[in-house]
């Protein structure tokens, strides 16, 4: 049996991303978070099957955040440990399904570089994406996950876009007219008020106006009667659909990050809550008892704003503070 460990074949998949975040802890703390505590920020609790030895395979479920509770099957991730150096480096062959690496084995490299007496630069490089869209989608996921990692690191603040040094290129050109950010937030709240695809909103590429669509009424809420017939998000280039909160990982994982940061003594209880239906109702009841409901709402709004700005940036959508043209 050969002991050779072959890296992923990245032929024909040229897109890559690189992110760097500074954490106020020494390298060993971050290395342990990646190798011993991934069920607190990356994997669904209890799902990880990982032995950090060179050549070993691994499996875990990335927590599913569509709806109020994780799906039973989770979001499977597979891979191989290609190389590791205690407190310094990890190299992983990384594979997930649709919406992740699309079944392709990619190359994930993580470096832990000492930046001061008690600071570390975490440098993450992820290579092997076939399209720019796939790369950008994975970049949004890693930004959120690094924020989740910050929540379990003592002394670390939430990771915002300005905290992350980006080594991968941004979209070359805007793809739509500027969109008023407050209008986009309002549309995002509308879309996220139901299950995915229950309520829809979309940005008109030519004007930056936002159209609303309620499938139960089958009308364009914002547009005129004439415009309503033209509103169809299935028609590719004219509209950009506004994402649902589940598209931006703002469901159960965000609640767990809040619990880790604000209610560390109740983290395990909150984690158990999110393995059952009606999880958000139970979670908010717990926060009400603890007097933390308003703090959660503020935390959730701030996270949504960061995620929406990242989404706009990744999709070439310029945002502005000025009012946008009303649809219709």
Q: Which of 141, 166, 191 is the last residue of a domain?
A: 166
Strand-strand pairing, 179-180 and 319-320: parallel
Residue-wise pLDDT for 208-260, tens only, equals 889 887 654 544 444 433 344 444 555 457 888 999 988 887 888 788 878 88
Both tokens of residue 119? 């600071």
Tell me, what DSSP letter sits at residue 43?
B
168 has pLDDT over 50: no
**Per the domain annotation, does 8 fall within a domain?**
no
Q: Are 183 and 323 in contact (CB under 8 A)?
A: yes
Residue 231 is classified by DSSP as: -
**Do 117 and 146 fall into the same domain?**
yes
Query: What percent of the chain has pLDDT above 90?
Result: 30
182 plus 284 within the same structural domain: yes
Does residue 4 lie within any of the structural domains?
A: no
Same domain assignment for residues 323 and 285:
yes
100 with 206, same domain: the answer is no
Q: Write phi, then psi, for 262 (nearest 5 degrees).
A: -105, -30
128 contacts 7 by C-beta, under 8 angstroms = no
Q: For the residues 97-102, what does the mean pLDDT come to?
A: 86
In a domain, 87, yes or no: yes
- Within-domain flag for 7: no
Last residue of a domain, one of 100, 133, 166: 166
- Distance, CA of 169 to CA of 106 (rounded, Å): 19
Residue 165: per-residue pLDDT = 54
Residues 131 and 266 in one domain: no
Identify whether 154 is part of a domain: yes
Cite the beta strand spans of the chain per DSSP E: 15-23, 49-50, 57-62, 75-85, 89-96, 106-116, 119-129, 164-166, 179-180, 199-204, 210-214, 219-220, 239-241, 319-320
Residues 154 and 271 in one domain: no
Q: Are residues 34 and 140 in the same domain?
A: yes
Distance CA 70, CA 74 (A): 6
Is residue 41 in a domain? yes
122 and 221 housed in the same domain: no
Q: Closest by alpha carbon to 207, among 179, 246, 171? A: 179
301 within a domain of the structure (yes/no):
yes
Residues of the chain above pLDDT 70, percent? 80
How high does pLDDT run on average in the chain? 80
The answer to whether residues 149 and 267 belong to one domain is no
Q: For residue 74, what pLDDT is reported?
A: 57
258-292 pLDDT per residue, tens: 888 788 888 888 888 888 888 888 999 999 999 99
Q: 149 and 189 in one domain?
A: no
* The token pair that represents 8 in the structure block: 């992923």
Its domain, for residue 291, covers 173-328
State the pLDDT at residue 304.
86
pLDDT digits (tens, 9 = 90+) for 41-57: 999 888 999 998 999 99
Domain end call among 166, 186, 205: 166
Structure token digits, residue 268 = 């395990």
150 and 87 in a single domain? The answer is yes
Q: At what angle do helices 279-290 and 293-315 cross, to 10 degrees?
A: 130
Residue 245, in any domain of the structure:
yes
Residue 1 confidence (pLDDT) above 90? no
* Distance, CA of 101 to CA of 86 (rounded, Å): 27
SS3 for 91? strand
Whether 157 and 194 share a structural domain? no
Which has the minimum average pLDDT: 61-65, 162-166, 253-257? 162-166
**115-132: per-residue pLDDT in tens?**
877 889 999 999 999 888
Q: What is the CATH number of the domain that holds 24?
A: 3.30.530.20
In the chain, the number of structural domains is 2
Q: Which residues lie closer than 8 Å to 2 by C-beta, 6 or more apart?
A: none
């Amino acid at each position: 049996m050969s002991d050779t460990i072959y890296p992923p074949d990245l032929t024909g998949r040229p897109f890559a991303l690189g992110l760097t975040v500074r954490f106020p802890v020494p390298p060993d703390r971050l290395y342990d978070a990646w190798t011993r505590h991934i069920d607190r920020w990356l994997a669904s609790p209890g799902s990880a099957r990982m032995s950090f030895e060179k050549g070993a395979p691994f499996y875990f479920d990335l927590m599913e955040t569509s709806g109020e509770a994780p799906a039973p099957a989770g979001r499977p991730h597979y891979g191989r440990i290609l190389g590791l150096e205690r407190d310094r480096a990890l190299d992983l062959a990384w594979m997930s399904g649709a919406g992740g690496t699309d079944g392709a084995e990619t190359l994930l490299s993580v470096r832990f570089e000492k930046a001061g007496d008690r600071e570390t630069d975490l440098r993450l490089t992820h290579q092997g994406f076939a399209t720019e869209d796939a790369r950008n989608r994975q970049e949004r996921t890693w930004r959120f996950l690094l924020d989740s990692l910050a929540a379990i690191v003592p002394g670390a603040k939430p990771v915002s876009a300005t905290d992350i040094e980006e080594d991968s290129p941004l979209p070359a050109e805007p793809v739509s007219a500027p969109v008023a950010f407050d209008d986009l937030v309002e549309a995002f709240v509308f879309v996220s008020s139901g299950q995915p695809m229950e309520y829809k909103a979309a940005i008109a590429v030519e004007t930056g106006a936002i159209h609303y669509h309620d499938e139960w009424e089958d009308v364009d809420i914002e547009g005129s009667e004439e415009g309503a017939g033209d509103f169809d998000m299935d028609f590719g280039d004219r509209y950009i659909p506004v994402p649902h909160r589940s598209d931006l990982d703002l469901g159960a994982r965000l609640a767990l990050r809040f619990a880790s940061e604000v209610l560390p003594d109740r983290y395990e209880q909150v984690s158990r809550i999110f393995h059952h239906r009606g999880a958000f109702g139970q979670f908010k009841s717990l926060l009400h008892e603890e007097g933390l409901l308003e703090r959660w709402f503020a935390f959730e709004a701030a996270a949504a704003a960061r995620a929406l700005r990242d989404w706009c940036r990744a999709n070439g959508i310029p945002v502005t503070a000025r009012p946008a043209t009303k649809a219709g």
